A and B are shown apart, each in its own frame.
Chain A
């Protein structure tokens, strides 16, 4: 009997060990645990021709954005480039001294071209929203309806963020935990910042904080004892860890800081009104606050309004400009905000931003006046560990499809999301092959 129990406990211990982050098992780690990561999803599929991979002439299949198929009013960097049929497309935007050429919807983010690594001509191999979204965030396509791998934000939170109160807060971002993820890093997924405040609110009229905390502490002990007895100890053990995490969260007096009103008051420079991305602005302010308080490692959120199949394409450029303006304001704030633990450093010195979408939109205008899904894409990284003013990959001039622009170990091919995620993980000191099956590190873009 004792032998059997010992064996089961040994097996249980082995299983529990599988949840220990790989980082904790590695010796001589060079990864900083004082870095922050921001992940942005342009939800719906953005039109790269307006910003990151601009097109302003009729070439091949391409019907460029112009005054006849969209509204250029309010697009600040738009300068007319006549197409000769009475419509005007735009003149390319190339910041002074920059290698990167943008379309006008890039907005204020063009000011940060020198710190930007831009990926164009990404091979998405999908035009499905769920599949493209998962591929961009995990580096794997859906297996049936199943997400087969963890998303990059979850991996980083698991490897570098478990000491934080909220390792990963995910607001409408495709965050997934699959294998080898510490239970404390399971994405805290919410649909809005206000939801966090409501969930953390506790009435003081019926019971005391001490009583509720004592109950949670007791339940944690129960969970851990049940895990010792269990044939499958992981769920109980993980539940206990999450109860411990809850005690930390509730003792942090966080609820008041994470309301819309508080964030707007503290960060008035974000555009909360007169913008199509007011929710994104709140989320960006939340990210800034969470980093300042040093309670999160990864903040993930989404901007919306890009799935423009019909004549709502009219507003697509505005949606992009509002998103990029918000991100530019976030970078500006990071530049001026002191790092919470590194004396003399700013948040920008230790913050890494990845901006993705699930795919781009067709080069043609459809019969409804919009653009449909297209299996090409762009992505942006702004990080002190990446070379700025850099473009990787390209799309062909006639069809806007990815070209075999880089030589990988297997030969020339277009870069794809797994390559970006692998490179990002590598820059954070995480061995990418542990989590990302297909990617290859692009060392030439790392500082």
Chain B
């Protein structure tokens, strides 16, 4: 019995040491043609546009939010977002049911149909939820340094990050929220987010808020990614 356990542990360590399985989160993007793929040499690729981006049902976003922020159930996440003890802040989040109408979800108690289009109030509701999730994630991952990290799966720099250091960490978040490397973004996204990061980091301490310095900056980046048009328009 002992020998079999020892063998299993040895095998596990050996596998961990020898394996060169690429980390998908760090994989460099490779641009190529579909015809370069084995078996696709003679296949034609349908490049025609089929449908424009659109919003999905509110449930899809809520499920995505909960998945990205640690996979809690809605009721557990509600408890976590409202906080308790020294972290309690009911102004950060109410209850899911308070937002259902504004999120465009149907209310069968009142016979209210689902809204099929976004509006400014819906975007305000997504902002409120996104801000709460990001604040709590920063508090957990960066301020308290609890593991496993839910969103910010990187180490903060000792001092304020350089642009290169920012880009490296921003890429981690960009892949997590938007699903692809930041350098492939069609806009000057890195610069924009770096500006927001820098401004938020620099002003938070004077404003007397709980999250300051880099924490404030990364929280602002999180706000931007969780509400990004590419996140909402699928």
Contacts and interface: CB of A to CB of B under 8 A. Distances in A.
Interface of A: 129, 166, 172, 177, 184, 186-192, 195-196, 198-208, 210-212, 214-216, 218-219, 221-223, 225-226, 229-232, 234-236, 238-240, 242-243, 245-246, 249-250
B107 A191 contact: yes
Interface in B108-145: 110-112, 115, 117-121, 123-125, 127-128, 131-132, 135, 138-139
A196 B94 CA distance: 12
B80 interface: no
Interface in B173-205: 186-189, 192-193, 195-196, 199-200, 203-204
Given A206-B219, A207-B216, A212-B223, A172 B110 contact: yes
B127 A198 contact: no
Interface string B85-124: 0000101101000111110100100111001011111011
B101 A235 contact: no
Contact of A177 (B54, B117, B127, B200): B117
Contact of A226 (B115, B200, B230): B230
B52 A235 contact: yes
B228 interface: yes
Contacts of B94: 198, 201
A107 B139 CA distance: 57
A210 B203 contact: yes
Contacts of B213: none
Contacts of B131: 202-203, 206-207, 212
B229 A222 contact: yes
Please list the 10 inter-chain residue pairs (A to B) with the smallest Cβ-Cβ separation, ordered nearest first.
A232-B52, A191-B101, A245-B120, A186-B119, A206-B135, A188-B121, A203-B92, A223-B229, A203-B91, A225-B187
A157 to B, nearest CB: 11
Contacts of B117: 177, 186
B164 interface: no
Interface of B: 49, 51-55, 89, 91-92, 94, 98-102, 104, 107, 110-112, 115, 117-121, 123-125, 127-128, 131-132, 135, 138-139, 186-189, 192-193, 195-196, 199-200, 203-204, 207, 209-211, 216, 219-220, 223-224, 227-230, 232-233
A204 B209 contact: yes
Nearest to B91: A203
B89 A203 contact: yes
Contacts of A204: 91, 209
13 contacts: A198-B98, A202-B91, A202-B128, A203-B92, A205-B91, A205-B209, A207-B211, A207-B223, A215-B223, A226-B229, A231-B49, A239-B123, A242-B123
A146 B216 CA distance: 45
Nearest to B92: A203
B228 to A, nearest CB: 6
Contacts of B54: 235
A198 B99 contact: yes
A44 to B, nearest CB: 10
Contacts of B101: 189-192, 195
A189 B203 contact: no
A296 to B, nearest CB: 12
A142 B211 CA distance: 51
A199 B128 contact: yes
A199 B94 CA distance: 9
Given A221-B192, A229-B186, A215 B224 contact: yes
B233 A235 contact: yes
- Most chain B beta-carbon neighbours within 10 Å: one of A172, A206, A219, A221: A206
A126 B124 CA distance: 37
A212 B233 CA distance: 21
Given A186-B118, A239-B118, A211 B192 contact: no
Contact of B118 (A211, A231, A242): A242
Contacts of A221: 192
B12 to A, nearest CB: 41
A216 B89 CA distance: 23
Q: Which of A129, A189, A199, A246 has the most CB of B within 10 A?
A: A199
Contact of B121 (A192, A196, A205, A222): A196
Given A207-B131, A222-B189, A199 B119 contact: no
A232 B53 contact: yes
Contact of B92 (A186, A206, A219): A206
A239 B92 CA distance: 24
B119 to A, nearest CB: 4
A4 to B, nearest CB: 12
A203 B135 CA distance: 10
A215 B203 contact: no
B121 to A, nearest CB: 4
B62 to A, nearest CB: 15
Given A202-B128, A230-B53, 7 more contacts: A207-B204, A207-B211, A211-B200, A215-B224, A222-B228, A226-B187, A242-B119
A195 B200 CA distance: 29
A239 B232 contact: yes
B216 A211 contact: yes
A179 B95 CA distance: 34
A114 B87 CA distance: 60
Nearest to B222: A215
Contact of B193 (A218, A240, A250): A218
B233 to A, nearest CB: 5
Looking at A166, A199, A215, A225, which has the most chain B CB atoms within 10 Å of its CB? Answer: A215
Residue in B53, B102, B117, B119 with the greatest tally of chain A CB atoms within 10 Å: B119
B229 A240 contact: yes
A198 B203 CA distance: 27
A201 B129 CA distance: 11
B196 A218 contact: yes
A219 B135 contact: no
A206 B193 contact: no
Contact of B112 (A166, A191, A246): A191
Contacts of B112: 172, 189, 191
A217 to B, nearest CB: 9
A187 B119 contact: yes
Nearest to B53: A235
B192 to A, nearest CB: 5
